[in-house]
Structure 1
């Protein structure tokens, strides 16, 4: 019987679109108030710091996806280059951010709909949204990508409209009253610690470029993945940086805002009036829905690889539907988890997500060292030292700086989740008497293509 595998249907720009959709470009407006308060009014600097950190890590992802062109991302890289037990723990920790992000998107959609229809029970919006996203992910990766592309293009159009209106408002004297000002980057009350604290918050916005590696077995040409990763980081970073500059120039302080935890609606109102406010909220809705589609798809692929490798029950997590050629059971499971968005706090969930993401980023950088330096011995020339030692160490170190600046709730919750994974691993391996790799069927652990 021929083995059923994931379908190769994604080109370069489809993958970049999924990455950008995952990143939710309009989130720069949602979190502007929080980050402006955290950084004392230099939001663009927080995004610039986060972009530099993410760029080092993106380069490491690009290297590793060429060595291991299979779904699984940080889990696969750590498992294969360092240790299968450590790989499982990294994968388990990464699950925290992959599993929770679809739920965050469902929660944001719920909040948007509640603002328009306060008398409708919140659970109706969550159930409807989750059902649609799950259906797309079960049906076809191609259909998911197409729907994501439409939503991303619409949200990017609204961001461009904001930039045009912001230019006009600055020209008319609003905010700083000039298009070119250094105030959004530096002034007397700016401190490096505040910028790093803000970068820790906005690194949540960059989560998405790493998820691209989850589509390695569905890319038409695997060689496009490193390019797609770098493009996603640069394009997403440019959007965040430029949009936050204009927003900070228009609003040097938060005195005009009634609600600072979610400033997108008021930014739309002050920049373009009630009509543009409606459109900008619609853009935020579209971007969140796109992120929901992409994040849902990504976590199902991670669960699929962990199931295929046998560290999670293979019959459920390693299953691919023979007709749709998608990890059907995983898509349904993620949908069920997303239903928890009916009640929780957005801020708390977001902090947990950053814990899992930063752990994954750190170990991807370390995987470059483990593979190229310790295994391949590629450290004998200046170019090799720069590419395989200096760059990944910078990536791991800078990511580590953000990690230690996480909130105490994120650290405690993340460590508890990691402890649960450790207990599960000890149970599965009978106190490490059985190697995790012994769970694999030889043919199930190979990367296959169509």
Structure 2
């Protein structure tokens, strides 16, 4: 579907095929993501960590279905921001974009902080803030080189992560078979003595962080070779793949935790629970390898694609005159939104260095990311239902009404059991967005989007000049 119908020019190169976008999704979600938050999810779920990841996968599959519906109708960069603005109203799109900004701008910050903390545990002489600077600068340089460079690096990082994961699973399974750990039990999936849905959803509220990333593929709709079809296939492929890997890695690690009861009671303040389990499986070298892999995966691989997605969101909102216009400019030489990339990097540097000095920096950023993502996903489901009754959609009532209703209900339950800090900060951010929207209306600059035209109608394409008029 041509972008001209939506009032835009095609400025980004359509370089990404299904396998490339699938790799983006896998790298963004990080196939070894549970390594870094294993202890927190294990504690919150009462040890039923594998079940928490299964429930999270189910919620995300429902969400992926709604993404597939909307990206097919509106294959433009901006993801849920663009869907809400066109399916409901431009004002709804602005508020949704505002909430998503909380998520996407926070993700590179969180990734740099977690990676910095991991590297400092390996190289204590280098402080966390210094690692934050190193990771942000390295990712900015790579992304400014263009989408082809990013695509190649994605594949290299993905292969490296899969190798580390395979090594851990091989040693872990062999260790359990040899009598180490707690044996092949079903406790990570279900423990009859402690099971409650409230407990499991508490684990899902944290573990959901591992799944965030497949949704960012919607922001690359204008980079995809076949638009909506490519994005939809890649979403399902990447999501189902990581779900299997997450469940496998957390199940094996849960059987090797040295002191499960202590971990549930006291938590994992050092963030080393997974690495301790890896050490039981293969020795100190495997613990160090998994810690180093986590740092590089979060700090470089995931951070790189997170910056790509964030820059596309800033570009999409800016060209619709809902953010400063300079963010919409695309480098003609590299075909990337360079100003948006540099802005994302500047925010990551400033706030990341500040957060590295706080004891609760990682906790706060995790709360912001999860709240923003869950709210955006709920709006996505509402968009599908709204658009179905307003404009009609292919797929019938099941795909366009029942699936999004169930998906939204599950996400609301997750938010209800989320960290109180996430709820408070998220609502404050939403309140600020409403205030900004009121100011826009009061000053005669209410949000608008280009008119969608039919296949044979001329489009009012927004050029660089018209965007800044």
Q: Which of the residues 379, 389, 398 maps onto 1:363?
A: 379
Q: Which of the residues 184, 190, 206 maps onto 2:188?
A: 184
Q: Residue deviations 1:271-313, cap 9 Å, x none?
A: 2112222221232123212110111100000000001111112
- Give the structure 1 partner of residue 104 of structure 2: 98
Distance 1:286 1:118, change over 3 A: closer
**8 Å contact from structure 1 (residues 308, 318) kept in 2:** yes
- Give the structure 1 partner of residue 286 of structure 2: 276
Aligned length: 437
Distance 1:341 1:401, change over 3 A: same
Structure 2: how far apart are the matches of 1:418 and 1:173?
Answer: 52
- Give the structure 2 partner of residue 300 of structure 1: 311
**8 Å contact from structure 2 (residues 9, 462) kept in 1:** no
**8 Å contact from structure 1 (residues 155, 287) kept in 2:** yes
Residue 355 of structure 1 deviates from its aligned partner by: 0.8
Structure 2: how far apart are the matches of 1:177 and 1:399?
Answer: 33
Distance 1:343 1:114, change over 3 A: farther
SS at match of 2:283: helix
**8 Å contact from structure 1 (residues 4, 322) kept in 2:** no
Residue 4 of structure 1 deviates from its aligned partner by: 7.2
RMSD value over aligned CA atoms?
2.2
The 5-angstrom pairing of residues 27-42 of structure 1 reads 27-42=33-48
Which range is displaced more, 117-126 or 160-169? 117-126
Which range is displaced more, 387-396 or 294-303? 387-396
Residue 124 of structure 1 deviates from its aligned partner by: 2.5
SS at match of 1:436: coil
TM-score by length of 1: 0.92
Q: Residue deviations 1:290-343, cap 9 Å, x none?
A: 1101111000000000011111122x1111011111110110111111112224
Q: Residue deviations 1:217-269, cap 9 Å, x none?
A: 00112121111111111011111111111112223843687982412332222
Which range is displaced more, 261-270 or 87-96? 261-270
- Give the structure 2 partner of residue 227 of structure 1: 233
Distance 1:252 1:109, change over 3 A: closer
- Give the structure 2 partner of residue 260 of structure 1: 268
Distance 1:32 1:88, change over 3 A: same
Residue 384 of structure 1 deviates from its aligned partner by: 1.1
**8 Å contact from structure 1 (residues 310, 439) kept in 2:** no
The question of 1:138 aligning with 2:138 is answered no
The question of 1:194 aligning with 2:204 is answered no
Structure 2: how far apart are the matches of 1:360 and 1:252?
Answer: 38
SS at match of 1:429: helix
Structure 2: how far apart are the matches of 1:376 and 1:121?
Answer: 55
Residue 438 of structure 1 deviates from its aligned partner by: 6.8
**8 Å contact from structure 1 (residues 151, 290) kept in 2:** yes
Residue 397 of structure 1 deviates from its aligned partner by: 1.2
**8 Å contact from structure 1 (residues 184, 252) kept in 2:** no
**8 Å contact from structure 1 (residues 22, 208) kept in 2:** yes
**8 Å contact from structure 2 (residues 103, 369) kept in 1:** yes
The question of 1:423 aligning with 2:431 is answered no
Q: Which of the residues 366, 381, 388 maps onto 1:372?
A: 388
Structure 2: how far apart are the matches of 1:221 and 1:438?
Answer: 24
Q: Which of the residues 249, 257, 269 maps onto 1:251?
A: 257
Q: Which of the residues 436, 443, 446 maps onto 2:461?
A: 443
Structure 2: how far apart are the matches of 1:23 and 1:114?
Answer: 23
The 5-angstrom pairing of residues 399-418 of structure 1 reads 399-418=411-430
**8 Å contact from structure 1 (residues 97, 352) kept in 2:** yes
User: Where do 5+ consecutive residues of structure 1 fail to align?
Assistant: none
Structure 1: how far apart are the matches of 2:131 and 2:289?
Answer: 20
**8 Å contact from structure 1 (residues 68, 77) kept in 2:** yes
Structure 1: how far apart are the matches of 2:101 and 2:45?
Answer: 30
- Give the structure 1 partner of residue 212 of structure 2: 207
- Give the structure 2 partner of residue 334 of structure 1: 344
- Give the structure 2 partner of residue 398 of structure 1: 410
